[in-house]
A = this chain, B = another copy of it.
Amino acid sequence: MSRSDPLDRAFRILDIVVCAGREMPLVDIVAACRLPQSTVFRLAAHLVDSGMLAFDETRKVYGPGPRCRRLGLFLRGRGTLRDIVDPVLADVARRFAETAFCVTGAGDGNRLLHHSVPEVGGRAFVHPGFEFPAHATAAGKVIRAFSGAPEPPGEDLPKKFQPATVTDQDALERVYGEIRKAGYALNDSEYDPGVFSMAAPVRVGPETVAALGIVGPRDRMFSAGDPHERARMLVAAADELAALLCL
Contacts and interface: CB of A to CB of B under 8 A. Distances in A.
Contact of A80 (B4, B64, B68, B77): B77
Contact of A49 (B8, B47, B209): B8
Contacts of A77: 69, 72-73, 76, 80
Total copies of this chain within the assembly: 2
B4 A50 contact: yes
A171 B227 CA distance: 76
Interface string A1-27: 011101110110011001101000000
Nearest to A77: B72
A84 B66 CA distance: 14
A236 to B, nearest CB: 21
21 contacts: A4-B46, A4-B49, A8-B46, A8-B50, A14-B71, A19-B70, A21-B74, A21-B76, A64-B75, A67-B205, A69-B77, A69-B78, A70-B245, A71-B75, A72-B72, A72-B78, A73-B77, A73-B80, A74-B81, A74-B104, A74-B209
